[in-house]
């Protein structure tokens, strides 16, 4: 399957309002898309409306348009995370023992319906919205749309995949610790996390009620802005609702973490993609390095402070009466809240107030923050083996945002070699939502990212890129070790100008040694090949000492696996760096 044809909410509504298509035709196409993708990931959904009901709703929209109404979301299909009430469908929060049938829809659903949008179903999530991975659910873990071996991100997992797979034009998620931003990054989407209270949370199963935000996944900032214009508004029946105001972003000072505070958990590709994003941001504003220690300390309070008890409060009865009904990892997170004292709670509140005062000072030196959405991504199998620590890693740059009353929008910033998405998040003070959306549009226009990767339909094979500099080059004596493994030629490149090349002594057949050198190095010619993980493993097993496979930096700053050498490799060797490559040496 090729890259999905993403649906645009604004384009669909414009076409339906203009009579160029009908809401019924859009829904028929949507149902066909969903049915086709069910063969790949049925676990995206927990429940869906019957096709007959959806077509009936579409015909009502068509009648409204025919009667002269111009609906901002006419006939637009969307999905809602299954912790948001939709009349006619159970709300489960991914816990069957918790399920109930709501008497009314959440306020956001009511507003979307009035605008002509049609909810096709409820999407899967980390149980009780507790997680950033998408694996903590009894309904099966939604996988990354571009690589099924990797997590989709959570807790709004199904919502993100539904949009990334082109099933719906937008999907509602929620965000307490990053659940509306992490899945956006992993699946090449835009994820808008509004200011707390800007969108009503009436009808939402709370995670941390004082922090929760309903969010949206879209394919573009323009659609995010359209949805904000429909959904934002004061709700007197929601005690946490706030009257929306628009505070402009004052200037172009973009705060970024100091280099020593940028953590990518060993993921060189993510680090390189963030550096590329910074180069783009540097063209649209002034980059200002800031100390983020205060933000990181605030982030620790979300799961290491009294807000754990707030999560516990949302499901306390079930936790006491039927704990086995709760996912074991989720339960281990919630249980400490049962014994948290009022003294601990107030100490946490006081500490957060102090941290918030310090964080406010950031806005004196910068106008917006631009952080990696996450520092890395993990395979589903890795999360199964280490479910808590790896999940925590994904929240490093997200957990503080709601605690410190900030707005945020996650935007794509490229793809890793494994096709999973990397993203950055633009973060601003409360009520800067519209300014952040505009800045996201500016960033994406300047970045000119390549088309997002195709969907993984189950036949995708993980591969590794390998740089060779000597006897494995095309036409050289050991090239057969690549061709016999069906290695695909990617291209001819050069290293960064930080390497030396030596002709090793007494090597049969003759081989070079590539050595990293910060002093006196040069760009060395090489070839890059791509092969499957199993083939790569068998290749590495045959590499003889003193050579080894390490990481080689190319001239454009990216890294690939490649031949490197132990120090003993250059004993008695001839320095041929000045020739620029092995072919020049052999030919000479």
Does 179 qualify as catalytic in the annotation?
yes
Q: Are 577 and 522 in contact (CB under 8 A)?
A: yes
Residues in the chain: 588
Could you give the CA distance from residue 53 to residue 422 in angstroms, rounded to a whole number?
38
What does DSSP assign to residue 405?
T
Q: 116 — alpha (psi -120 to 50), left (phi > 0) or beta?
A: left
Q: Are 569 and 502 in contact (CB under 8 A)?
A: yes
Q: In which residue are the tokens 């090489």 written?
A: 526
Strands 559-565 and 463-468: parallel
Q: Are 160 and 189 in contact (CB under 8 A)?
A: yes
What does DSSP assign to residue 335?
G
In 55-159, where do the E strands start and end?
Answer: 77-81, 118-123
Catalytic residue among 155, 157, 159, 432: 155
Which DSSP string corresponds to 500-536? EEEE-TT-SS--EEEEE-SSS-B--EEEEEEEEHHHH
Could you give the CA distance from residue 189 to residue 338 in angstroms, rounded to a whole number?
37
Does 559 qualify as catalytic in the annotation?
no
Q: Degrees (nearest 5) of the Cα angle 377, 381, 386?
A: 80
Q: In which residue are the tokens 């992490």 written?
A: 182
Dihedrals φ, ψ of 96, to 5°?
-55, -35
Catalytic residue among 8, 10, 81, 159: 81
Does 159 qualify as catalytic in the annotation?
no
Catalytic residue among 10, 146, 156, 179: 179
**Dihedral sign from CA coordinates of 65, 69, 74, 79:** negative
What's the longest Cα–Cα distance across the chain?
Answer: 88
Where in the sequence numbering do the catalytic residues fall? 81, 155, 179
């Amino acid at each position: 399957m090729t890259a999905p044809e993403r649906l645009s909410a604004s384009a669909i509504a414009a076409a339906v309002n203009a009579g160029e298509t009908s809401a019924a035709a859009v829904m028929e196409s949507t149902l066909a898309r969903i049915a086709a993708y069910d063969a790949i990931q049925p676990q995206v959904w927990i429940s869906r409306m019957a096709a007959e009901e959806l077509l009936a709703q579409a015909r009502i929209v068509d009648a409204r348009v025919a009667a002269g109404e111009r609906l901002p979301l006419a006939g637009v299909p969307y999905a809602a995370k299954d912790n948001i009430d939709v009349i006619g469908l159970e709300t489960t929060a991914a816990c069957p023992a918790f399920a109930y049938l709501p008497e009314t829809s959440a306020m956001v659903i009511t507003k979307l319906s009035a605008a002509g949008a049609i909810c096709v179903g409820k999407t899967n999530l980390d149980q009780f919205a507790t997680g950033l991975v998408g694996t903590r659910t009894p309904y099966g873990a939604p996988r990354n749309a571009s690589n099924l071996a990797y997590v989709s991100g959570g807790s709004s997992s199904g919502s993100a995949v539904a949009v990334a797979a082109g099933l719906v034009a937008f999907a509602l998620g929620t965000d307490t610790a990053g659940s509306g931003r992490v899945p956006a990054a992993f699946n090449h989407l835009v994820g808008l996390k509004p200011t707390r209270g800007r969108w009503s949370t009436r009808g939402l199963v709370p995670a941390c009620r004082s922090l929760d935000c309903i969010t949206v996944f879209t394919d573009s900032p323009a659609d995010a802005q359209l949805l904000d214009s429909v959904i934002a508004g004061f709700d007197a029946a929601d005690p946490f609702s706030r009257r929306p105001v628009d505070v402009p972003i004052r200037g172009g000072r973009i705060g970024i973490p100091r280099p020593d505070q940028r953590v990518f958990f060993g993921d060189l590709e993510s680090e390189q993609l963030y550096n590329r994003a910074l180069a783009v941001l540097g063209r649209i504003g002034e980059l200002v390095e800031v100390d983020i220690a205060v933000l990181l300390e605030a982030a620790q309070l979300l799961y290491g402070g009294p807000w754990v008890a707030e999560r516990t409060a949302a499901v306390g009865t079930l936790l006491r009466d039927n704990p086995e009904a709760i996912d074991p990892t989720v339960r281990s997170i919630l249980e400490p809240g049962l014994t948290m004292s009022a003294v601990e709670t107030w100490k946490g509140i006081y500490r957060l107030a102090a941290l918030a005062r310090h964080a406010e000072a950031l806005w004196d030196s910068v106008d917006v923050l631009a952080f990696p959405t996450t520092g890395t991504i993990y395979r589903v199998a890795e999360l199964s083996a280490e479910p808590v620590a790896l999940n925590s890693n994904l929240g490093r740059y997200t957990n503080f945002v709601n605690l410190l009353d900030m707005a945020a929008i996650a935007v794509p910033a490229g793809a890793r070699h494994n096709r999973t998405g990397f993203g950055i998040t633009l973060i601003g003070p409360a009520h800067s939502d519209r300014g952040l959306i505009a800045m996201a549009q500016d960033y994406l226009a300047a970045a000119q990212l390549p088309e997002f990767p195709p969907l993984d339909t189950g036949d995708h094979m993980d591969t590794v890129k390998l740089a060779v500099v000597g006897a494995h080059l095309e036409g050289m004596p050991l090239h057969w070790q690549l061709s016999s493994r069906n290695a695909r030629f990617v291209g001819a490149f050069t290293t960064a100008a930080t390497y030396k090349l030596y002709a090793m002594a007494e090597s049969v057949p003759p081989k070079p040694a590539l050595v990293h050198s910060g002093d006196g190095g040069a760009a060395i010619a090489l070839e890059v090949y791509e092969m499957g993980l199993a083939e790569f493993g068998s290749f590495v097993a045959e590499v003889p000492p003193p050579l080894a496979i390490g990481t080689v930096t190319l001239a454009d700053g990216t890294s690939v696996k490649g031949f490197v050498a132990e120090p003993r490799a250059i004993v008695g060797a001839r320095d041929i760096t000045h020739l620029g490559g092995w072919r020049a040496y052999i030919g000479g």
